[in-house]
Chain A
Amino acid sequence: MIRQFIGYPLQFILLVIVQVLVLNNIQFSGYVNPFLYILFVLWLPIETPKWLVLLLSMALGLAVDVFSDTLGMHMSASIFLGFCRPYILNVLAPRDGYELNQKPSIQDLGFSWFVTYSSMCVLVHHVFLFFVEVFRFSEPFSTLGRSIASTVFTLILILITQFFYYNAEGRK
């Protein structure tokens, strides 16, 4: 329990720093941006109250926005992700429901579950984010294509991070 109270803020700070200092500078062919920071929302314990998820994702988006000078953009997308997360978790729930203290991670729920879960979350977030960024519906397919490409890239990063974490945990 205490580890959680220290662990999650630390995750928060680390993810924001990595996002702002490293990943924001990566732009493949000017189109594809990875947004790893949402991993924080993905990793929150399943039994976290819904309102807390919303507030935390707002704080996360705000933190990223402050550093990337796009106040409100990541924030709105993150809030939307926080809003959708409970429903995605509901859809993907095992037949008997989640067990107590399960975390949405590969260790607890398996690789395929985690890939489905994170790809849905990332897609929701990215589509929202890119549409807010472009802010028009005139070229929906170009925007959609960009968000899907970025989704794939972010997903790969999330899996890599997850494996690092997994190994670190396993070694302990």
Chain B
Amino acid sequence: MRNLIAFISKYSFFFLFLILEVFAFYLLFRNNNFQRTVFLNSTNKVSGNIYESYSEWTDYLDLSVVNQQLAKENSRLRENQIKAYQRLFGENIMVNDTIYKRKYFYTKAKVINNSINKQNNYITLDIGASNGVKKGMGVIGPSGVVGVVKDVSTHFSSVLSVLHRSAKISARLKNTNYFGSMQWNGENYQVGMLLDIPNHVDISKGDTIETSGYSATFPEGIVLGTILGFEKPDGENFYDISIKFINDFKHLTHVYVVKNNYQLEQQSLEEKSEEQND
């Protein structure tokens, strides 16, 4: 403290000069428009740069909010996609002004619990019956099928993941339209199996597998994965195809629950005809 006082008194002349000069500049900026605007502009440049790099950092903190907004927007866009609509009646008949009637609805949901390392994996979503989720609805992620809703509570829903021993998803080869069912053997969370593709079909590694749309759970044409490898077992008519999921089940955060408006209708019709056959 004594040193400080000594320092100040030693340079008192200089400090007096500084104080007076600061006062003079204060008056200058207060009272002269030109100097003030120049001063403010240059300080704005400096502070603008600081704020810009600051916001580059803080942007990371907002990523979750931004993600949510993007997911919301995506679900809105998916709803507007032509795939969400289905032609009503035949090709040429127009009823009033509706050619297309909405078939699929997408609701965005957040994964709040997930596992990949069990034999039977389930995913929990943060929406439930109060959001219109029902048992049997499909769940898709940003890049492909995630699972099927198994149980619903008021605010949550439990999804039977594709990574479940009893999960069966109707799938087809993208170009040939031969369809089979996709299952998981419980080993690698990135690899699944495609069964029931007859062995006369021409397939090759890297072919895309997508949903067939037969099950009324998923719209057709949603990507499941690509062919990783295949073999023809002796004495069987079907390939053993292993496929690589495109979805990274380990990093699922935002998914969409698909509601098919005609699922009930389709299923009841199919059940009816099956019963009649029996």
Judge if B59 is at the interface, Cβ distance under 8 Å.
Answer: no
B28 CB contacts on chain A under 8 angstroms: 71-73, 75-76, 132
A72 touches B20 (CB 8 A): no
B27 touches A79 (CB 8 A): no
B32 touches A51 (CB 8 A): no
The one of B12, B16, B26 that contacts A72, using a Cβ cutoff of 8 Å = B26
Judge if B277 is at the interface, Cβ distance under 8 Å.
Answer: no
Binds A, one of B33-41, B76-84, B96-104, B112-120: B33-41
Judge if B276 is at the interface, Cβ distance under 8 Å.
Answer: no
Cα distance, A54 to B24, chains bound together (Å) = 12
A135 touches B30 (CB 8 A): no
Judge if A27 is at the interface, Cβ distance under 8 Å.
Answer: no
Judge if B126 is at the interface, Cβ distance under 8 Å.
Answer: no
Chain A contact residues: over half helix, strand or loop, or mixed?
helix
Residue of A nearest to B39 (CB): A135
Residue of B nearest to A136 (CB): B38
A80 touches B21 (CB 8 A): yes
A83 touches B32 (CB 8 A): no
Q: Mark A72-105, 1 if CB is under 8 A from B, else 0.
A: 1101100110110010000000000000000000
Q: Categorize the interface residue count of chain B.
A: 20 to 34
B1-24: which have CB < 8 Å to A? 12-14, 16-17, 20-21, 24
A51 CB contacts on chain B under 8 angstroms: 12-13, 16
The one of B13, B14, B16, B25 that contacts A76, using a Cβ cutoff of 8 Å = B25
A50-B13, A135-B38, A136-B38 in contact; A71/B21 too (CB < 8 A)?
no
A75 touches B39 (CB 8 A): no
The one of B24, B29, B30 that contacts A79, using a Cβ cutoff of 8 Å = B24
Cα distance, A86 to B12, chains bound together (Å) = 14
Judge if B31 is at the interface, Cβ distance under 8 Å.
Answer: yes
A11 CB contacts on chain B under 8 angstroms: none
A135-B38, A135-B39 in contact; A76/B31 too (CB < 8 A)?
no
A71-B30, A72-B29 in contact; A58/B35 too (CB < 8 A)?
no
A72 touches B32 (CB 8 A): yes
A51-B13, A54-B17 in contact; A75/B27 too (CB < 8 A)?
yes
* B147 smallest CB distance to A (angstroms): 65
* A52 smallest CB distance to B (angstroms): 10
B39 touches A79 (CB 8 A): no
Cα distance, A75 to B12, chains bound together (Å) = 20
Judge if A116 is at the interface, Cβ distance under 8 Å.
Answer: no
28 A-B pairs (CB sep. < 8 Å): A51-B12, A51-B13, A51-B16, A54-B13, A54-B20, A61-B24, A70-B32, A71-B30, A72-B24, A72-B26, A72-B27, A72-B29, A72-B30, A72-B35, A73-B32, A73-B35, A76-B28, A79-B17, A79-B20, A79-B24, A80-B17, A82-B17, A83-B14, A132-B28, A132-B35, A135-B38, A135-B39, A136-B38
Closest 6 CB pairs of A and B: A72-B28, A72-B27, A76-B24, A71-B31, A75-B24, A83-B17
**Residue ranges of A at the interface with B (Cβ–Cβ < 8 Å):** 50-51, 54-55, 58, 61, 65, 70-73, 75-76, 79-80, 82-83, 86, 132, 135-136
4 other A-B residue contacts (CB within 8 Å) besides A58-B24, A72-B28, A136-B38: A54-B13, A61-B24, A79-B17, A80-B21
